[in-house]
Amino acid sequence: MPTDTAELNQLLRSGGYLPDRGLTTATYLAITLGRPLLLEGEVGVGKTELAKALASVFDRKLIRLQCYEGIDTSQALYEWDYARQMLQIRAFAEHELTEEDTVDSLFGEKYLLERPLLAAIRAGDRCVLLIDEVDRADDEFEAFLLELLSDFQVTIPEIGTIQAESRPIVVLTSNRTRELHDALKRRCLYHWIDYPTADHEEDIVRTRIPDVSDTLTAKVVAAVNRLRHLDLAKPPGVAETLDWVEALQALGAGDLDQSLAIDSLGSVVKDREDLEIVRKRLGDIVEVA
């Protein structure tokens, strides 16, 4: 584990993720204090990526729980393998075993289907747990998460309590479609990820796509920054910048001009109305050298 923020920053950089000062500090504190980290920010600023990067630089397994409306414990925590249980019951019936033996063996580990949260509790510090888009789940699910995140233990009635031997690194992300409960926020460290500065974004592009020319990088980053000020319905994130650079590279471009921009616009602007706005003002967006 890193002993200070500089070391963590270096580690993440080596894994291809370039966090700024605030995010490094937040991540460092989450790791050393053993608290979950709640990340919010515009779409495509690298919230999910952080968890992936943490898993790769610390050589841990990434366990991801994608939240959605109506998610419940049988999809998030565990479920019994009913089909197997029923087959086993038939087998038991033929051998005339006592009821006690049957029940004990039927609700053993063998028949337990592990879902992400249980997997994370069992893996402990051998994993990074990513709870993605927690705002999409119902608010009752939040209450359940709260309980889980405070003790890192679950009770399965038939088996007993399973306690994490060590705490996993937990990253939660939210797109702010609704307010999260204050109690859940209190349990977590909170960080708002902003769009990176132009210099920082150029760094990110160079790290992720090593063989790209500096001119192209600088021009694309400048263009994307102008797009972000255009009041689009869906402003491009860092992910879109990377997509655009890759698209241009695939087209064999060493520089960005208007006609290339028109051809590849679909990799940054993904909404019909937005496309119209951008096409009209393409001259302002793609700087003429």
In the bound complex, what is the minimum distance in angstroms from residue 131's beta carbon to another protein? 17
E strands along the chain, which residues? Answer: 37-41, 61-66, 78-80, 112-114, 127-132, 153-156, 160-163, 169-174, 189-193
CB of 144 to another protein, least distance (A): 13
CA atoms of 132 and 40, how far apart (whole Å): 11
CB of 262 to another protein, least distance (A): 23
Min separation Cβ 219 and another protein, Å: 27
| Closest to another protein by CB, 139 or 263 | 139
User: Which C-beta is closer to another protein: that of 209 or that of 277?
Assistant: 277
Contact 240, 268 (CB under 8 A): yes
Integer Cα distance of 266 and 275 in angstroms: 8
Q: Which is nearer to another protein, 68 or 166 (CB)?
A: 68
Query: What's the rounded Cα separation, in Å, for the pair 126 and 164?
Result: 11
Distance in Å, CB of 259 to another protein, minimum? 28
To another protein, the closest distance from the beta carbon of 257 in angstroms equals 30
For another protein, which is the closer residue by CB, 233 or 251?
233
Which positions lie near another protein, rule CB under 8 A? 5, 21-22, 25-26, 28-29, 32-33, 35, 40, 68-72, 80, 82-83, 85-86, 89-90, 92-94, 99, 102-103, 106, 135-136, 175-179, 182, 185-186, 189-192, 233-234, 273
| 125 Rama class: left (phi>0) / alpha (psi -120 to 50) / beta | alpha
Which residue from 43, 37, 22 is spatially nearest to 171, judged by alpha carbons? Answer: 37
Q: Which is nearer to another protein, 149 or 256 (CB)?
A: 149
DSSP per position, 102-141: HHHHHTSGGGEEE-HHHHHHHHGGGEEEEEETGGGS-HHH
Q: Which is nearer to another protein, 77 or 220 (CB)?
A: 77
Six-digit token string for 81: 């393998």
How many helices (H) and strands (E) the chain has is answered by 15, 9
